[in-house]
Amino acid sequence: MSSSNHPLSRRAFAGAVTAGAAAAAGVAASAPEALADASGTPSERPFRAARERRAKRPNILFILGDDLGWADLSSYGSPHIRTPNLDRLARRGVRFTDAYAGSATCSPTRFSLYTGRFPGRTKGGLAEPIADRSAGLEPSHPTLASLLREAGYATALIGKWHCGYLPDYSPTRSGWDEFFGNFGGALEYYSKLGLAGEYDLYEGDAEYRDLRYYTRIITERAAEYVSREHDRPWLLNLNFTTPHWPWIADGDTEQSAEIVRRIKAGDRNALWHQDGGSVDKYREMVEDLDRSVGRVLAALRRAGREQDTLVVFASDNGGERFSYNWPLSGNKASLQEGGIRVPTLLSWPARIDGGQVSHEPVFSPDWTATLLELAGTRPHPAYPLDGASLAGYLLRGEAAPRRDLFWRVRGERALRRGNWKYYRGKTGRDQLFDLAGDVREQADKAAVEPARLAELKAAWERTDAGLLPY
């Protein structure tokens, strides 16, 4: 199921080193070139499990960026954004070139990660994304957190929840022992005002007043959590809002005040910030995200827990207006590659060697299944998972799971099988792409591969038939 067309797989990984050397010399970084050691051997090698190792159940730190594009990290080929901390995480583990979000927008992807199931299996997952208080993740539904808690884990969620609002929905009702963050899909970074003008920073189910820059606040909280003396393994879901709009970097207090003025004046579109932002401002926000992740990982190292902590970093969907998605087509809200393929890094030094790259297709529900297996527990039998565990692939040298990756959003459908992708966009036309040679999805093979198109379309429709209707 590996994809053979990965133009950035080794070349892009060298971006951080190339950029760092250029910055030190005071010159602009050129396009990343293949990183090699003294013998000329590329430093990023194809993934291979280190099967002889044993380790206790890991702590789990799952970090989500918000609307971060596939190539917005220097290790994925960004020509202008420098992310040395995330590049270090990649060097200490595995970089996935063909990793996908469970959906094309914020809340359904979170449903897919927390439940391990397609968003369309739950009523709350039908919202794309949740925009009012009528939808949410039902507290009765098993989650990654509730299942790990039953297996003896401490659980916490810091940052963006976006799976429903109080009083009916909350992380503390769905398996997380602790919650500190925001309930909605977006907030102004200083005032903490949300889309409806509500204050949206909470500790548990109570408002928490702090008017500093939001990314600073949740970074501090996460660093404190991983530094604690824990008497059992833990799960921390760390969900940044960076680099989601509004386009406000740390220190942009005048821009913040203007957006707050518009919100208080009744402008319901103020947070969308359609008249603001720039490529350079976006760069500031992504590089701030990188520094923030670096602070949390540094706290983990100081606490002596880096070796025994499994860290996953990913984005909740593809990039938006200012993202760098090349060579992918489409962006957030689309089921083209640019809307669902996301940067994904994994590190677990106790069990997995560093400096590796994997081209196996994986998506959000797979991480749920994988983490449950690594924690020594199983999904609830009444709620079977749609993801496949990667534990055998990552730890035991087994082949990666062979199955279809399925997506459905209003007006679009997609299914990936091996290197082939079936896609129907809002034009209503069925298309077929061979991602091995056409990751940009420009050469439609539907007319020359009608049997394959029919097979993948039928597979999509069989899965769709088992989901809740819109």
> Which of helix, strand or coil describes residue 300?
helix
Tokens 């995330």 sit on residue: 86
pTM comes to 0.92
ω into residue 243 within 30 of 0, thus cis?
Answer: yes
CA dihedral 327, 19, 317, 209 (to 10 degrees): -160
Pick the catalytic residue from 80, 141, 162, 359: 162
Residue 6: active-site member: no
Q: Is the pLDDT of residue 6 over 70?
A: no
| % of the chain residues with pLDDT over 70 | 91
- Confidence band, pLDDT 50/70/90 cuts, at residue 55: confident
From 446, 364, 344, select the one nearest 72 (Cα to Cα): 344
Q: What is the pLDDT of residues 101-116, one digit of tens each?
A: 999 999 999 999 999 9
Q: What is the pLDDT of residue 9?
A: 42
Residue 163: active-site member: no
Looking at the DSSP bridge assignments, the partners of residue 65 are 315
- How far is 140 from 121, CA to CA, in rounded Å? 14
Q: What is the pLDDT of residue 7?
A: 42
Dihedral sign, Cα of residue 255, residue 260, residue 265, residue 271 = positive
Q: Which residues contact 241 (CB under 8 A, 6 or more apart)?
A: 66, 159, 160, 182, 186, 187, 189, 214, 215
Q: What is the pLDDT of residue 217?
A: 98
Enter the DSSP assignment of 401: P
- How far is 109 from 118, CA to CA, in rounded Å? 9
Helices 279-302 and 214-227: crossing angle in degrees, nearest 10, is 20
Pick the catalytic residue from 106, 141, 244, 273: 106
Mean pLDDT of 10-27: 35
From 115, 62, 60, 63, select the one nearest 241 (Cα to Cα): 63
Q: Is the pLDDT of residue 17 over 90?
A: no
Burial of 114 (0-12, 13-18, 19+ CB in 10 A): buried
Q: What is the pLDDT of residue 245?
A: 98
Backbone φ, ψ for residue 13 (5° rounding): -60, -25
Mean pLDDT of 226-233: 97
Enter the DSSP assignment of 386: S
Mean pLDDT of 406-425: 98
From 402, 429, 431, 334, select the one nearest 1 (Cα to Cα): 402
Q: What is the pLDDT of residues 188-199, one digit of tens each?
A: 999 999 999 999
From 435, 363, 404, 456, select the one nearest 119 (Cα to Cα): 363
- The DSSP line for 212-257 is S-HHHHHHHHHHHHHHS--SS-EEEEEE--TTSSS---TT-HHHHH
Burial of 272 (0-12, 13-18, 19+ CB in 10 A): middle
Mean pLDDT of 63-70: 98
Q: What is the pLDDT of residues 359-405, one digit of tens each?
A: 999 999 999 999 999 999 999 999 999 999 999 999 999 999 999 99
- How far is 446 from 432, CA to CA, in rounded Å? 5
Q: Is the pLDDT of residue 119 over 70?
A: yes
Q: Are residues 377 and 150 in contact, defined by beta-carbon separation less than 8 angstroms?
A: yes
